[in-house]
Amino acid sequence: MKALSYARSLLIKRSSYLIIQRNMSLIRDKAFVNGEWVTSSKGKTFDVVNPTDGSIIGQVPDMDVEDTNAAIQSAYDAFKPWASTTAKERSNFLRKWFNLLEDNKEELARIVSIEAGKPFKESLGEVFYGNSFIEWFSEEARRIMGEIAASPAKSKEMLFVRQPIGVAALITPWNFPHAMITRKAGAALAAGCTCVIKPAEDTPLTALALAKLAHDAGIPNGVINVITSSRENAAALGKLLCESPLVRGLSFTGSTGVGKLLYQQCATGIKRVSLELGGNAPFIVFKSADLDKAVAGAMASKFRNCGQTCVSANRFLIEEPIFDDFVEKLKATMKNELKLGKDESCNTGPLINISQLNRVDSIVQDAVKKGARVHLGGGPAKDLGERWYQPTLITDVKPDMVCYKEEIFGPVVACIKFKSEDEALKIANDTPVGLAGYFYSGDISQCWRVGKALEVGMVGINEGMISCTEAAFGGVKESGIGREGSHHGIEEYTDVKYLCFGNL
């Protein structure tokens, strides 16, 4: 009976996979190298799983070092022709890609939903955000400016030009499978670089769909390559992308631990490195704040993608006189606004995989064991499936609890009481990372003081949603190096060359 039940479950999963393949024109089951759809050299594949129900939604090549070398060589061969195109030509290619992304935004959002587990409306928001980077960098391609310097000698003229660095390796995460690729690839291509993209093993289908549309836009063969691999091969591929002499830059978004390892590996070739790593964002509410706006900001910042974003509010620091009122308002809002479920009327999805659910639950149980009070949630939502977790609100959080010190990456609000601005800043800055921070205050002098004092790369002041194309996205301390988006994003993919002309 067990064998029959298992076979039936496989048949259901396989039929689900076939239905998806038939109904989505952008779904691809091969990697993309040098303008062609290719399998792995060993013929191996791995399953892509829908987090909402565990069904198989696709299979893609499980590529190895040999396959990755071929992709790197393809990007290297394409670099000089692509770098020699004019800024206007690159702008036009990117604009065509953007137009196709816009034409296919709903299907792209469906793909994001089924492989990342996001509610469709949220996936559509990510696609809108991700597409905007290609539009932005199509415009920025024509604004990569040089400089004329005043020479110290009459016999010389001095100028600086910006040139593309070469092949860029782009390693992207599962939590924003569309936007993290477009934010990197848009800048790289605009600068004149070619790229090899390694998407997360949980979410390769979005990357392949983006590559398909880039190819349809006429972007030349080899300029964009997408390699896919299982978790077992990921470390070897990452090491090769860091150490290959044909690769001149690496951009990575992911955990601080992996980022440190890649940073070390890139040192062997003195590569250009851009790292957007983990955070531990404080969300501070001062007694002068508008509590309704603070609660709305907390909801926006904390529960996007079920708390699985690097800029999610993590430690909620609430000034003592308003602590109880804030907790009650937030609890009521969480109850009324957060809807877990699998249909499109719901706005909160599952965690990406079982190991992530176990980690989030272990953090909550650690807090409870050490005296935290649970006001809402507190455990898995088992009625929905094995990857679903209840939105959780806890207080009486103490320094010896894991949630006080570490990034949760899940739908858990941990509230900490403070008595003074200095105490709040001390707690907020007492972490080795510094990506984003948020605070609410009605005191303009305090806004300036705290905004400058927070040790983070980005600050939301009376605002819970800070990400946009025009913003310089990045952190300080162990949250990374470099910036993405804005006009600064292209700087990561260019070198400054100094030309000194002697007068003839």
* pLDDT tens figures, 345-354: 889 999 999 9
Residue 29 has pLDDT above 90, yes or no: yes
Beta-bridge partner residues of 461:
439
Are 407 and 359 contacting, i.e. CB atoms less than 8 angstroms apart?
A: no
Catalytic position from the list 140, 201, 276, 319: 276
Integer angstrom CA distances of residue 162 from 9, 149, 390, 468, 497: 56, 14, 50, 25, 6
Q: How many CB atoms lie within 10 A of CB 496?
A: 11
DSSP code of residue 119: -
The pTM (predicted TM-score) of the whole model is 0.93
Residue 480 has pLDDT above 70, yes or no: yes
Residue 100 has pLDDT above 70, yes or no: yes
> With DSSP H G I counted as helix, E B as strand and the rest as coil, what are the percentages for the chain, rounded to 5?
45, 20, 35
Residue 90 has pLDDT above 60, yes or no: yes
> Nearest CA to 90 among 196, 212, 187, 231?
187
Q: How many CB atoms lie within 10 A of CB 28?
A: 21
Residue 174 has pLDDT above 70, yes or no: yes
- Cα-based angle 352, 356, 360 (whole degrees, multiple of 5): 125
Mean pLDDT of the chain: 94
pLDDT tens, 454-467? 999 999 999 999 99
157 is catalytic: no
pLDDT tens, 111-160? 999 999 999 999 999 999 999 999 999 999 999 999 999 999 999 999 99
pLDDT of residue 279: 95
Q: How far apart are CA 299 and CA 307, in angstroms?
A: 10
